[in-house]
Amino acid sequence: MKEDLRLLAVQQFAAYDLQDDPELQQLVFMAAEICKVPIAAVNLIEGDNQLVKVKIGLNIDILPRKISFSTHAMDQNGIMIVPDLLKDGRFADNPLVKNGPKIRFYAGVPLISREGFRLGTFCVGDRKPNTLNEHQQMMLTMLAKQAVNVMELKFSNDQLKRNARELHEQKLKNAEAEIRLRSFFENSANFHVLLGKKGEVIDYNKTAYNFIRNTHSVKLERGHLLLQYLAEDFKEVFLRNYELALLGVRSVEEGSTNYGDKGGLIYWEAVFEPARDNDDKIVGISYLITNTTKRKLYEEKILQQNQSLLKIAHIQSHEIRGPLTSIIGMMNVIKMEAHTLPQEYITLLDDAVNRLDQKIHEILDKVSKIGVEEDILNV
């Protein structure tokens, strides 16, 4: 687990192109100058590899961790000095000593982060046996600490830039969302008001503002108590539903209000809904009123039309039923008294009577259906 955390810390810095950092380049150059050696480097030790991030005197960017001198130096509590790698049993057969750069001298100081993670080493080397005096050892240790400071500062600055960019992007998103919400809120044809826990107006849309101005000759403002603008016979209903909304219960009321010459009779549907903050805490209510006057008037018009149709149908059916009854009676008399009318006349007359009787039944069926539809509308 500890190694996993260390690797995460290393990855924070491994992604940077530290070779181009002027401060780290200067530190590496100073290390080589102070220690009077041709090789100096800042290394990061990740899973299986050593990453040579900043260097002088070397042409290596990455090498296997198993042959790395810095793997041993990273675990030291202080500086690790190997005057002659060829005479040290740990490194005598190392390909970096026998082949390639043929390094003979190595000195390295662990790079330790503020959180205590060992990230790698700040090291110097030579192609011949060498050592460091106390002053050089002290300076190499100081340069290693400064290298960590530079890397952490670079990481912190980049993190701040990322955070600032993300914050800016989030602000833009919030602003866009607020504009969309405000546009929807303002362009709604419904009366919409947000109320606080004391019944005060927190926000309102244009429809609400214009309605209050037209019906009460008052400019609606934040902080006004909405109750003062409600009809007397609606205040009790409003307060009951307002309290329910503050308890988290959504409710709907329907009714009508006559505003006289300032608006006439208006049918409405009122929705009371809890308003919550980002923590889902109820901070007030959303009060939304939809003008249903057109719908109600249309329904009343349909009902009136149906009633008119019922009257007409009843009148027509009764006016036709009367003469039809007389004709049927006369037909029966003719049949019973065996009047000498041509049989085809009797047949035609009988057929006409039957068709007329069928048509009357159809009218009565339609009248019954209209009556059922009217009952449904009334419900």
Asked if residue 212 and residue 341 are part of one domain, the reply reads no
Q: Is residue 229 part of a domain?
A: yes
Asked if residue 138 and residue 19 are part of one domain, the reply reads yes
Pull the structure tokens for residue 98: 């026998």
Number of domains in the chain: 3
Which residues span the domain enclosing 367? Answer: 297-378
Count other C-beta atoms under 10 Å from residue 285's C-beta.
25
What kind and span of H or E run contains 263? none
Asked if residue 355 and residue 319 are part of one domain, the reply reads yes
DSSP string, 122-163: EEEEESS-----HHHHHHHHHHHHHHHHHHHHHHHHHHHHHH
Asked if residue 307 and residue 230 are part of one domain, the reply reads no
**Of 291, 324, 344, which closes a domain?**
291
Pull the structure tokens for residue 242: 């307002």
Q: Is residue 45 part of a domain?
A: yes
**Of 291, 323, 340, which closes a domain?**
291
125/82 Cα distance (integer angstroms): 9
pLDDT digits (tens, 9 = 90+) for 277-300: 888 999 999 999 888 888 877 877
Residues contacting 120, CB < 8 A, separation 6+: 10, 42, 43, 44, 45, 50, 51, 70, 74, 110, 111
Q: What is the pTM of this model?
A: 0.52
Q: Is residue 178 part of a domain?
A: no
Asked if residue 228 and residue 147 are part of one domain, the reply reads no
Asked if residue 46 and residue 120 are part of one domain, the reply reads yes
Count other C-beta atoms under 10 Å from residue 131's C-beta.
14
Can you give the CATH number for the domain in which 248 is found? 3.30.450.20
**Of 112, 136, 156, which closes a domain?**
156
**What pLDDT is stored for residue 295 in this prediction?**
80
Asked if residue 234 and residue 362 are part of one domain, the reply reads no
Asked if residue 217 and residue 102 are part of one domain, the reply reads no
Nearest to 286 by CA among 276, 294, 295, 278: 276
Can you give the CATH number for the domain in which 94 is found? 3.30.450.40
Q: Is residue 213 part of a domain?
A: yes
Asked if residue 143 and residue 9 are part of one domain, the reply reads yes
**What pLDDT is stored for residue 47 in this prediction?**
86
Q: Is residue 180 part of a domain?
A: no
DSSP state, residue 200: B
Q: Is residue 184 part of a domain?
A: no
> What residues form DSSP beta bridges with 192?
288
DSSP state, residue 225: B
Asked if residue 213 and residue 71 are part of one domain, the reply reads no
Asked if residue 341 and residue 259 are part of one domain, the reply reads no
The conformational region for residue 30 under phi > 0 = left, psi -120 to 50 = alpha, else beta, is alpha
**H helix intervals, the chain:** 2-14, 22-35, 70-74, 95-98, 134-187, 206-216, 232-246, 293-337, 343-378
**What pLDDT is stored for residue 376 in this prediction?**
47
Asked if residue 209 and residue 141 are part of one domain, the reply reads no
Q: Is residue 162 part of a domain?
A: no
Q: Which residues of the chain have pLDDT under 70?
A: 1, 174-186, 306, 308-357, 359-379
Nearest to 192 by CA among 267, 286, 294: 286
Q: Is residue 316 part of a domain?
A: yes
pLDDT digits (tens, 9 = 90+) for 236-287: 999 999 999 999 999 999 988 888 887 788 888 999 999 888 889 999 999 9
The residue with tokens 């149908």 is: 313
**Euclidean distance between the first and final Cα of the chain, in Å?**
71
